Chains A and B, each alone.
Chain A
Amino acid sequence: MVSSLSVAQTLAHVARRRPPLQSALDVFEPLLSSRADLPDKLAPCLRTAGMTLPVWDRYRAGQGQSLLAGHSLRGADNAIRKAAAKLLPLICALPPFRDCTDNLQALFSWPVRAEENRGTVAEQLMEALLASDEQSFIQLTELAAVPPHLAELPAEFIFSAVLRALTQSLAERPWEEGGTWRHGYCPFCGSFPILAWLDRPVQDEKNAYLAGGGGKKRLYCGMCGTSWHFRRGACPSCEAEGDGAMEILRESGAQWGERLEWCTKCKTYCPMVDLRESIAIPDLDATALGMLHLDMVAHQKGLAPLRASFWNHLALA
């Protein structure tokens, strides 16, 4: 029952608070806005292709396996092509990708290889990316002569639109059941989060005299758009917790509930935003972009983002 802000509205709020970020926000806004529009358009493609999701298995989840782990993504090709057609022109407008525009377009529309019965190149590429199968990923990108380090971010961005369309088809979020999923990576696709947020107060209709104060920590997956509960004092990457495990990095003055939490053990960080007092839920991808200034400080301190994104990877490289 809480309204949500669009990418443009969220970034407009950020720009009002931090005018120096305006030029960086302008670069990435078309990308984020276009991707936000895609899941609704891609969902029919996935339905037509007959793509189904595996059933949530508590035993597998208990062993730390996300829903898509080991699951074939055959049938996603048409949706991937549509997402690539929309997003690649925007991605290839960014300086690092200008020289490999044709190669990237070829990679995501590579014809089916007759000798293989494992799906299209794009489908295999998505499976390799989600499985962190670096060797397969490199082999596939070599087909279109795209340097692997230039293929990774475009691939993630394009596949994320398809994965978000897939999550829309889920009738329920089984990982929300208490204690089912306790890991720092996504229960749906297995990716690390790009953002953490503190939940708003929850009205307990069964208790007439107390409302929850909110503040439960949730992690947000920038790949598939899933969010899930996680322990507030633990590192999502190495799961270290306890005294001194996590430190906080925040700007002086008005902080707008935003900060970075970084792990003293594995030196990774994840931005976090406190939404307990917020009127509306901002777009979480745009919120992560709006914390670019904290990414910069973290970079100077030698910390690594839990998950690389266009802005914290390209802008700071």
Chain B
Amino acid sequence: MSKTFLIDTTRCTACRGCQLACKEWNDLPANETKQRGSHQNPPDLNPNNYKIVRFHEHLDADNNVVWNFFPDQCRHCLTPVCVDVADMVVPGAFIKDAATGAVLVTEKCAQIPEDALESIRNACPYDIPRYEPKSKRFTKCDMCVDRLRAGLVPMCVKTCPTGAMAFGERKEMLDLAQKRLAAARERFPKAHLADADSVSVIYLLAEEKEYYHQYASFM
């Protein structure tokens, strides 16, 4: 049965516990970064970060500063375009795990010729996969599929201290999303669920997607 994340950005405080927990669980090394005048660090997804919390600030109609946070990760699409495009090059390089719905990168990825890499990367509507030339692998969130097989929730969900992240069976998460949405709309009239019908990582956004991140939602 398909598993689903609900990420309620109205509860996210950008503590980046999820980002760090993901690195710890996957044993990913640190990045060398520079101060760029933003708390978003590292600046983008990369082979050492399968998940980052994106920061966005703007002024609202009353000239108050609004600071939005967006824990960005693979959406594990219900119909993943990356799997289709990769299959045209090397069948089985990207797969969708039937038991969980996780979109996974396999070792066959190393067989993908260099001239096909960009087309696979660009296939993702959310700009997620990154390529690691040393290992010749695309890197991205794997839904902590090893933990799922042991009956445990993904590491980012376990770590979230504010309850912004929830994880479970798709139907349960869709029900929870509707409840959270109703509650969020009392404070944020424009609150909506991003691409809920097509992804396994559903974001509850308080405002339009441009106030979070260019690829926050597809629709």
State the A residues within 8 Å of B (CB).
1-3, 13, 201, 203-205, 208-211, 213, 256, 276-280, 282
Number of residues from B at the complex interface, CB < 8 A: 23
Please give, as numbers and ranges, the residues of chain A lying within 8 Å of B183 by CB-CB distance. Answer: 205
- Alpha-carbon distance between A48 and B213 when the two chains are bound, in angstroms: 61
Please give, as numbers and ranges, the residues of chain B lying within 8 Å of A13 by CB-CB distance. Answer: 151
Please give, as numbers and ranges, the residues of chain B lying within 8 Å of A277 by CB-CB distance. Answer: 147, 152-153, 158
Instruction: Determine if A3 and B152 form an interchain contact, defined as CB atoms under 8 angstroms apart.
Output: no
B44 sits at the interface (CB 8 A): no
**Sample of 21 A–B contacts (CB below 8 Å):** A1-B172, A2-B168, A3-B168, A3-B169, A13-B151, A205-B183, A208-B11, A209-B162, A210-B161, A211-B160, A211-B161, A213-B161, A256-B150, A276-B158, A278-B151, A278-B152, A278-B153, A279-B148, A279-B153, A280-B168, A280-B169
Instruction: Determine if A279 and B3 form an interchain contact, defined as CB atoms under 8 angstroms apart.
Output: yes
B27 sits at the interface (CB 8 A): no
Cβ of A79 to closest chain B Cβ, rounded Å: 32
B153-208 contacts to A, CB under 8 A, are: 153, 158, 160-163, 166-169, 172, 175-176, 183
Smallest Cβ-Cβ distance to A254: which chain B residue: B150
State the B residues within 8 Å of A (CB).
3, 10-11, 13, 147-148, 150-153, 158, 160-163, 166-169, 172, 175-176, 183
- Alpha-carbon distance between A202 and B148 when the two chains are bound, in angstroms: 20
Instruction: Determine if A209 and B13 form an interchain contact, defined as CB atoms under 8 angstroms apart.
Output: yes
Mostly helix, strand, loop or mixed at chain A's interface? loop
Please give, as numbers and ranges, the residues of chain B lying within 8 Å of A201 by CB-CB distance. Answer: 163
Smallest Cβ-Cβ distance to B148: which chain A residue: A279
Which of B10, B161, B167, B175 has the most A CB atoms < 10 Å from its CB? B161
Which of A2, A204, A208, A276 has the most B CB atoms < 10 Å from its CB? A208
- Alpha-carbon distance between A114 and B183 when the two chains are bound, in angstroms: 62
- Alpha-carbon distance between A213 and B162 when the two chains are bound, in angstroms: 10
Cβ of A203 to closest chain B Cβ, rounded Å: 5
Using A203-B163, A279-B148 as known contacts, say yes or no to A3 and B3 having CB atoms under 8 A apart: no
Instruction: Determine if A211 and B162 form an interchain contact, defined as CB atoms under 8 angstroms apart.
Output: yes
Instruction: Determine if B162 and A210 form an interchain contact, defined as CB atoms under 8 angstroms apart.
Output: yes
Please give, as numbers and ranges, the residues of chain A lying within 8 Å of B148 by CB-CB distance. Answer: 279
Cβ of A267 to closest chain B Cβ, rounded Å: 31
- Alpha-carbon distance between A208 and B9 when the two chains are bound, in angstroms: 11
- Alpha-carbon distance between A280 and B150 when the two chains are bound, in angstroms: 11
- Alpha-carbon distance between A282 and B150 when the two chains are bound, in angstroms: 12
Instruction: Determine if A1 and B152 form an interchain contact, defined as CB atoms under 8 angstroms apart.
Output: no
Contact of B172 among A3, A256, A278 (CB under 8 A): A3
Smallest Cβ-Cβ distance to A204: which chain B residue: B163
Please give, as numbers and ranges, the residues of chain A lying within 8 Å of B167 by CB-CB distance. Answer: 279
Please give, as numbers and ranges, the residues of chain A lying within 8 Å of B176 by CB-CB distance. Answer: 1
Contact of B168 among A1, A205, A276 (CB under 8 A): A1
Smallest Cβ-Cβ distance to A201: which chain B residue: B163
5 nearest interchain CB pairs? A211-B163, A277-B152, A203-B163, A3-B169, A277-B158
Cβ of A290 to closest chain B Cβ, rounded Å: 12
Contact of B151 among A204, A208, A211, A279 (CB under 8 A): A279
Please give, as numbers and ranges, the residues of chain B lying within 8 Å of A211 by CB-CB distance. Answer: 160-163
Please give, as numbers and ranges, the residues of chain A lying within 8 Å of B169 by CB-CB distance. Answer: 3, 280
Contact of A1 among B11, B147, B163, B175 (CB under 8 A): B175
Please give, as numbers and ranges, the residues of chain A lying within 8 Å of B172 by CB-CB distance. Answer: 1-3
